[in-house]
Amino acid sequence: MIKEMFDLSGKTAFVSGSSRGIGFAIAEAFADAGATVVINSRKPESLAEAQAKLADKGYAVHAVPFDVTDSKAVAAGIEKIETEIGPIDIAVNNAGIQRRAPFTKITDELWRDVMETNLNAVFFVARAVSERMAERKRGKIINICSLASEVGRPSIVPYTTAKGAVRMLTKGMCCELAGHNIQVNGIGPGYFRTELNTDLFENKEFNDWVCARTPAGRWGELDELKGVAVFLASEAASFMNGQVIYVDGGLLSGM
């Protein structure tokens, strides 16, 4: 009985920004749990590589490239998935970018770039999938938040602003969509080793700071995000709504 609660067989899951990193790990977890998985990126070549990597591991996934920062492209992409693959039961908003600059040196372009990918895209995808989920009276939406949804750091103000907004978007969506049997929750990763932060991991000063600041004393591994993603996508989380689960090795728990 308990295993069945976490089984995603028969479900269709869409994961944005899933050609690598956190999104790739979540897509792999969903496939392993039995879901029909649709991976997404704005770059077809990167998506094809990710699809091939998953195929090598024994997972046949669908690849649908489109730009999640373009609301028209999102509407068309979601329609394509619903028509050609199946109704989306699970949607993960993972696509994100990081642009660093001192606050007084943040350009209009930098600000817009971060907001378009880290906030606007979450709204565009969530709006497109939730309309259909509401008609079917079921659905799971998982927004990837961050430690930066709760705390700030120098040089990443646009990122923390966007991730803080995603946290509140998650709660606002819950208030409106829960009545349609749609669960909207978030995952807030701590410091995880990915292709995007290799430079930080290899910076001894920063690496030492992360390990000292995190009670677990280390960076997270991507496999350690898979369980919480499957949980939130499954029937085991049917009464969990509007929450952000921080997977951070305890970082937010101490001073």
Q: Which residues are catalytic, by number? A: 159
Residues 6+ apart with CB under 8 A from 79: none
Residue 94 three-state SS: coil
What are the two backbone dihedrals, phi and then psi, of residue 104, each rounded to the nearest 5 degrees? -75, -10
Question: C-alpha distances in angstroms, 84 versus 12, 27, 92, 210?
Answer: 12, 19, 19, 44
Could you give the count of Cα atoms lying within 13 Å of 102 in the half-sphere of its Cβ?
2
Alpha-carbon gap, residue 199 to 206, rounded angstroms: 10
How far apart are the C-alpha atoms of 234 and 213, rounded to whole Å? 32
CA dist 122 and 99 (Å) reads 18
CA distance 15 to 27: 6
Phi and psi torsions of 10, nearest 5°: 85, -5
